[in-house]
Amino acid sequence: MNYIKKHGYLYLSTKRFFVSLLCILLVFHSIPSGITSGSFLEFTGSMLVIVTFCILLCIPEYLYSKKSSEDLWIKWIECHSAQKQQDRLKRALVYHELIPLKIDTAARCGKFASQTSKKRYRTTLRSCTCPDFKKRKLPCKHMYYLADQCNLHIPNSINTL
Ligand SMILES: [Zn+2]
């Protein structure tokens, strides 16, 4: 189980990471040009826009890191008893039909490899980038696996069946 880590640091999705990186590069690019052009207002204005954009991008990740696992998982409390959800639960915890690459139980996020393609899925207790979650907006097998690793109680889980 060497893929299970407990770093607890805030990690951004790839998209957010690259947008943030782009913002940082823009800031550093605008500093010399702002100083040389002498237009202080224009320079400060563009800096403010970039910094605000950066903060807005990081807010959802920050809020996620501040909430307890139970608070994050409670959103799904109503749906676990449905047969389709129980099937997903079994696929995750009984048949182990998934390939975990990295599980961070402190940050409550994980990375899984697709079983059918070379894709990688980023999973949190709130969402997953896999096609199943994108389509149904209900916990997928990756999310159940992550929840189990975070010691969350899943009602009607395989233990009580
Ligand atoms: Zn998933």
Q: Which tokens hold the place of 14?
A: 């790839």
Q: Specify the pLDDT at position 127.
A: 93
Q: Specify the pLDDT at position 61.
A: 81
Compute, in angstroms, the gap from residue 161 CA to the centroid of ligand 1: 23
pLDDT tens, position by position, 32-79: 665 566 677 777 777 788 788 778 877 888 888 889 999 999 999 889
Q: Specify the pLDDT at position 7.
A: 62
Compute, in angstroms, the gap from residue 57 CA to the centroid of ligand 1: 22
Residue 147 Cα distances to 55, 57, 83, 136, 155, angstroms: 28, 25, 18, 18, 12
Q: Specify the pLDDT at position 4.
A: 67
What whole-number distance in Å separates Cα of residue 142 and Cα of residue 147?
9
Positions in the chain short of pLDDT 70:
1-15, 30-38, 156-161
Compute, in angstroms, the gap from residue 120 CA to the centroid of ligand 1: 10
Quick check: 103 and 149 in contact, CB under 8 A? Answer: yes
Global pTM reads 0.75
Compute, in angstroms, the gap from residue 130 CA to the centroid of ligand 1: 4
Q: Specify the pLDDT at position 161.
A: 46
